[in-house]
Structure 1
Amino acid sequence: MNPLLGAEQAVLGAVLLDPGQLSHLDWLAPDHFYRPVHQALFAALRKLQNDGHPALAAEKPVPLSWVTDAVDEASLHVRGLTAAYAHTLISACPRPAHAPVYGRMVLEGAIHRSITEHAIRLHQAARADALQGEVEGALHYADVLTGVLSDLARRWGTEPRPVAPTTPPATAPTGPPPVRADQVAEDEWFLLAILADRPRAIDEVVGWLRPGDFADPAHGQLYRCLGALHHRGEPIDRITLLWEAQRRGLLADGTLSSDQLTAICDGVGPGSAEWLGELVMRSSVTHTAATSARAIRALAENEALAPGQLINHALHALGPLDEVRTRWQTANGRPAPTPTAPTPSPNGPPPAQVHAALARSSTPRPVSPPSARPGSAPTPAAARPPSRGHV
């Protein structure tokens, strides 16, 4: 049996056997379940709880009406649910008292699934923007993904903070879509030609344009050579640029050739370095967004990665996009964006996050109010219950 399917069946079976277990699952939502029939049934159980169903106050055994009413309510929203399947769920539950642990497994699956879905949307938006020469869609979905990660961290009871994975996920390199690659390369070529012909124009872009923003690595290295000569106050022409490229080993390793340098230095035409630099930055934003999205999707598809680690690694993967966005907004005279993740509290995780972590414990324990321990941080045992020591 699929472990996630087994966990979904077990938590529903536990609540059908013992309605009181719902009080230990207040952090679990219907949309955390993968199967629609399970979503509808858990939502129905929540509704019966909110309506004060008599089974909640009844002594054991639980009245049959608890099961039949739940099936009737869920059947209003989904097809194919029968009383026989409800009894299958009951049989799938080894121990009703373990409902919080089963629910935690369901939440783990939902976290991986949700992050995967939003990473795919970010990647699609980035590719669409790259085709249209825009960046707004990619930046919007990056903000959406950041909000999702913060919400999932709150539900899981962990402090959201960017953490680099020990082994970066393996992803194929990304670049501009084929239909735009030639245009991007041409924009970069013209920009370098202008900078080589009019070195003072470097001042218009040097504050926010970086070598890594160029889609063509050779163009990025050439921009680095131009920047080095400009920084040292040395003259820039075809000979000095060729010498700088040779000193950096770019001719020996085949990154650049003397013919490429000559073509750029002799191919100048009218144009604005700032405007062309912004075009290069647009491509860099969408390229970086696509790269971050692919890295996050690879992380989310690793089922062995614990939810707390996944959330923090995903926030780290968004870091390069935040850096590029800051420079993009600087180039356009816009204010810098807010940080991707909230700054960790020096006094430990907020009480709500501690409560969420404790609520998933197999033996729920009360959380001490903040006033009981003024000025002190939660103890490690409170912030990290034994049941989630793997995060």
Structure 2
Amino acid sequence: MNPLLDAEQAVLGAVLLDPGQLSPLEWLAPDHFYRPVHRALFAALRKLRDEGHPALEGEGPVPLSWVTDAVDEAGLHVRGLTASYAHILVSACPRSAHAPVYGRMVLEGAIHRTVTQHAIRLHQEARTGALRGEVDGALRYADVLAGVLTDLARRWGTEPRPVAPATPPAIAPSALPPAQADRVGEDEEFLLSLLVERPGAVGEVVDWLRPGDFADPVHGQLYRCLGALHHRGEPIDRITLLWEAQRRGLLADGTLSDDRFAAICDGVGAGDAEWLGTQVMRSSITRTAAASARAVRALAEHEALAPGQLINHALHALGPLDEVRARWESAHGRPASRASTPTPSPSGPPPARVHAALTRSTRRAAPSPAERLGPGPSPPAARPPSRNHG
């Protein structure tokens, strides 16, 4: 069974049965359909409607030309579409009056596909940036993904806002390529050596560099120890660092070995702390972007997740990247380039957004127009809308 395919066929069959069903489907676009033949046919039906096809005039039976003209127009843009398939679409529609509900199903599938595609692209940009030592591409495409999520929320008729999922998606950790991991590890060791050996160096980076920015957890723990010494105003050298590491249990639990500590404290200890900290943070941005992309993709591939929940959980998954970006911009003396997530208006969502949601949720009270093409069973009585789109 393929519910999405059934929904696409049903919404097209409903419009073939009743051209008037295009009016409550204004929010549905051809690119929301997964199959190319369905995209072409829906675009053709809209074009015929906009050009004033005779099928939209009068109250009698729908002329056969509505179907044949749509097939001919769509056939100019896609191969394999025949009149017999159009009749299959008609037979696949249980009730043409339910077209807005079928369209909502099509839009729901499109939202999941769109979020998946953009999450993959963000992951690719992050991986490429990590190899090249750049962050602009990942940050720029994170903005693109956030904009897409906001646009999808408005199409769905909900307010975009970050919401943490009850159960975070399970994502496998992504290991850095060996050559890149070695380079990142060397930068982190050089930075720690410099912070230990040069008085006051911690103050140059402590305002914007965090322990979580270090790829190696041991390096992050040592940086946390250095930060604690700095904030308490205590002197920093290899002895005070070792004592602080012992107080935090890093020696007792085996987190820090003698060799690791010696490799850091016996290092060169020369260089520019701010430059090295920038290198560490650059790596942190690309890793965080890749992790956010994997989390968003895992959410999008969860078919049981409603579109409103998917969008809000995906915005929440981008939160860690927003936090790192803010510190990156602060370190470089530039304001954050990304617009903040829209907040709900005190007067409620815009009327157009409310109308979009209600259009998807409200069934038409008129009898099924399928009777215009021939006798058939009468549709059941319409029930008041009860679905709450989150």
| Both proteins in one fold, TM over 0.5 | yes
Structure 1 unaligned blocks of 5 or more: 366-384
Aligned position for 2:221:
221
1:122-161 to structure 2, matched below 5 A, reads: 122-161=122-161
The one-letter code sitting in structure 2 at the alignment partner of 1:341 is T
Describe the SS at the equivalent of 2:201: helix
Shift of 1:264: 1.1
Q: What is the alpha-carbon distance in structure 1 between the residues aligned to residue 345 and residue 268 of structure 2?
A: 53
CA offsets 1:231-272 (integer angstroms, 9 cap, x no match): 111111122111111111111222212332222112124210
- Residue 115 of structure 2 corresponds to residue 80 of structure 1: no
Match of 1:262 in 2: 262
Higher RCO (C-alpha 8 Å, min separation 6): 2
TM-score normalised by length of structure 2: 0.93
Q: Which moved more, 1:188-197 or 1:198-207?
A: 198-207
Which residue of the partner structure matches residue 389 of structure 1?
Answer: 388
1:369 equivalent in structure 2: none
State the partner residue of 1:209.
Answer: 209
Instruction: Give yes or no for contact 1:242–1:258 (8 Å, CA) kept in 2.
Output: no
CA-CA distance at 1:199 after TM superposition: 3.3
| In structure 2, distance between residues paired with 1:155 and 1:143 | 18
Alpha-carbon RMSD? 1.4
1:317 Cα deviation (Å)?
A: 0.4
Q: Which amino acid aligns with 1:118?
A: H
Q: What does residue 319 of structure 1 align with?
A: 319
Q: Are the equivalent residues in 1 in contact too, given 2:55–2:62 (CA < 8 A)?
A: yes
Give the match for residue 173 of structure 2.
173
Query: C-alpha separation between the residues in 1 aligned to 2:210 and 2:322?
Result: 14
Q: Which piece of structure 1 moves more, 36-45 or 176-185?
A: 176-185
Residue aligning to 1:252: 252
- Compute the displacement of 1:386 (Å): 3.6
Looking at structure 2, the residues matched to 141 and 182 of structure 1 have their Cα atoms a distance apart, in angstroms, of 27
1:178: how far off? 3.0
State TM-score, norm by structure 1.
0.93
Aligned residue identity for 2:48: L
Q: Output the CA distance in 2 between the equivalents of 1:39 and 1:294.
A: 29
Change (3 A) 1:178 1:340: farther
Q: What stretches of structure 2 of length at least 5 have no aligned partner?
A: 366-383
Distance apart, 1:363 and its partner CA: 2.1
Matched, 1:274 2:274: yes
Where does residue 372 of structure 2 map in the other structure? none
CA distance in 2, matches of 1:106, 1:15: 14
Q: Which residue of 2 aligns with 1:359?
A: 359
Q: In the alignment, residue 273 of structure 2 is paired with which amino acid? A: A
Quote how far apart the aligned CAs of 1:364 are: 5.7
Q: Tell me how far apart the structure 2 counterparts of residues 69 and 178 of structure 1 sit (CA, whole Å).
A: 59
After the TM superposition, which residues 1-391 of structure 1 pair with which residues of structure 2 at under 5 Å, given as runs?
1-363=1-363, 386-389=385-388, 391=390
Q: How many residues align?
A: 372
Contact 1:15 1:21 in 2 (8 A): yes
Q: Which residue of 1 aligns with 2:376?
A: none
Distance 1:231 1:258 in 2: 26
CA distance in 2, matches of 1:254, 1:354: 58
- Equivalent pair of 1:288/1:320 in contact (CA under 8 Å): yes
Conserved? CA contact 1:44–1:70, under 8 Å? yes
Equivalent residue letter for 2:233: G
Alpha-carbon distance between aligned partners in 1 of 2:387 and 2:357, rounded to the nearest angstrom:
8
Q: 8 Å contact 2:17–2:96 — kept in the other structure?
A: yes
Q: 1:372 corresponds to which residue?
A: none
**Structure 1 residues 243-252 or 122-131, which shifts more?**
243-252
Give the conservation status (yes or no) of the 8 Å contact 1:322–1:340: no
Quote the sequence identity (%). 80
Partner Cα separation in structure 2 for residue 204 and residue 142 of structure 1 = 28
Quick one: which amino acid aligns to residue 320 of structure 2? P
Moved more, 229-238 or 65-74: 229-238
1:377 equivalent in structure 2: none
After superposition, the Cα gap between the structure-2 partners of 1:349 and 1:178, relative to the gap in structure 1 and judged at 3 Å, is: farther
Q: Is the 8 A contact 2:195 2:269 kept in 1?
A: no
In the TM superposition, what whole-angstrom CA distance separates every residue of 1:203-233 from its partner, at most 9, and x where no partner exists?
1111110000000011001000000001111
